[in-house]
Amino acid sequence: MRRWLIASLLLVAAPLAQADALDRLRSFLETTKTLRAEFTQTVIPKNGRKPQFSSGAMVLSRPHKFRWQIEKPYPQLIVGDGEKVWLYDPELKQVTVKKQGTALAGSPAALLAGEGMAALEQHFGLRNLENKDGLEWVEAVPKSTDSGFERVRLGFAGNELRAMELVDSFGQTTSLVFSRVERGLKLEAATFRFTPPAGADVLGD
């Protein structure tokens, strides 16, 4: 009887030992070398103006390479090639370029395209949040005061990243929902190269 009771207690306690959101994040970083996903983005200004909606696709090759392409309603492209980050606005015919170390340190991009959990913990304070919308959430607060963001939240379904919420230093909230997520892809090196189009103004480093 006593053995049965102990076994029953262990079975009851087992769910308490399940992975939390920080474990999900750690597993995601350890097992995800390449990733491709579509996203929808909602930007909610602090002043109560109408939300802004956009959509597009992103590709990652860790560490430090990514391609973030907004397709609707206005095209915009951000490419991190491992050394520099390029931001291209086709309508303005303008390219802004920064050294990637400066552009990524303490930024949301470092969460997804960085070197791993240890490097992440150097730039962010991490903690588990309560489950919401069927997802397990981690909150990341930048340790740098000039990162431009107050906090970033990542939502996981199992070991799959499904959402991000970013609050910037102006109180503006950006929500991202990911779909059609694929991992372990073989990606062409050209995916993460960017050459400024002829006639575009190039600003920055």
Residue 143 · residue 125 · CB < 8 Å: yes
pLDDT at 8: 39
pLDDT of residue 11: 39
**What is the Cα gyration radius of the chain?**
20
Q: What is the pLDDT of residue 19?
A: 62
pLDDT number for residue 136: 94
19-204 CATH fold: outer membrane lipoprotein receptor (LolB), chain A (2.50.20)
| CA gap 140, 166 in Å, rounded | 10
How much is the pLDDT for 193? 93
Q: Which pLDDT does position 169 carry in this prediction?
A: 81
What was the pLDDT predicted at 14?
Answer: 39
Q: Please report, for the chain, the start and end positions of each structural domain, with discontinuous segments joined by +.
A: 19-204
pLDDT tens digit at each of 205 positions of the chain: 444 444 433 334 334 445 688 888 888 888 889 999 999 999 888 877 888 999 999 999 988 899 999 999 999 999 988 888 899 999 999 999 988 776 565 556 667 887 778 877 888 889 999 999 899 999 988 887 777 788 899 999 988 899 999 888 888 898 999 999 999 889 898 999 999 999 899 998 7
